[in-house]
Amino acid sequence: MNVETQSQFDKIFWRGVDLFNAKDFFECHDAFEELWQEDRSDGRLFLQGLIQAAVGCHHLSNGNTSGAISQYMKSLDKLKKYPDDYLELDMKSFRKEIERCFDGACLMNSKGAVYEVDNSFFPELQRIHS
């Protein structure tokens, strides 16, 4: 789909947010990727940061701790460049939660064991209501 209008962007963006919060990380990454592929604005890195956060969670839920660690690092590196309140999302809280996921992935990775990660471990993207 060509994302030509703001309403098209919003529709896909909020679908991505809903998918993340439903812990459907693969489909979430797909939705944000659809926007990222065509975005050439200053927000492009933000979208990629969200993609990498979702992919990090996807990898962690599948036991790929090293993949998760790398994705979380890349995500945080991008998301920290944006304001705490961006596109109506509470990014300050989200970044903190991704840091927590990163720490958890590092701990699991250091143990060298395979862990089953419950969905409750993963964060949600919270909408800021003005």
Partner 1 sequence: MAILITTECINCGACEPECPNTAIYEGGANWSLAGQTYGPTDPSPSGAVGFHSNDYFYIVPDKCTECVGFHDEPQCAAVCPVDCCLPDPNWVEPKEQLEAKVAWLEEVDPGRKR
Q: Which residues bind partner 1 (CB under 8 A)?
A: 26, 29-30, 32-33, 36-37, 48, 51-52, 55, 58-59, 64, 66-67, 70-71, 74
3-state class (DSSP) for residue 75: helix
Nearest to 73 by CA among 36, 106, 120: 106
Cβ closest to partner 1, residue 85 vs residue 114: 114
Cβ closest to partner 1, residue 113 vs residue 129: 113
Question: Parallel, antiparallel, or unpaired for β 89-90 and 85-86?
Answer: antiparallel
Cβ closest to partner 1, residue 44 vs residue 92: 44
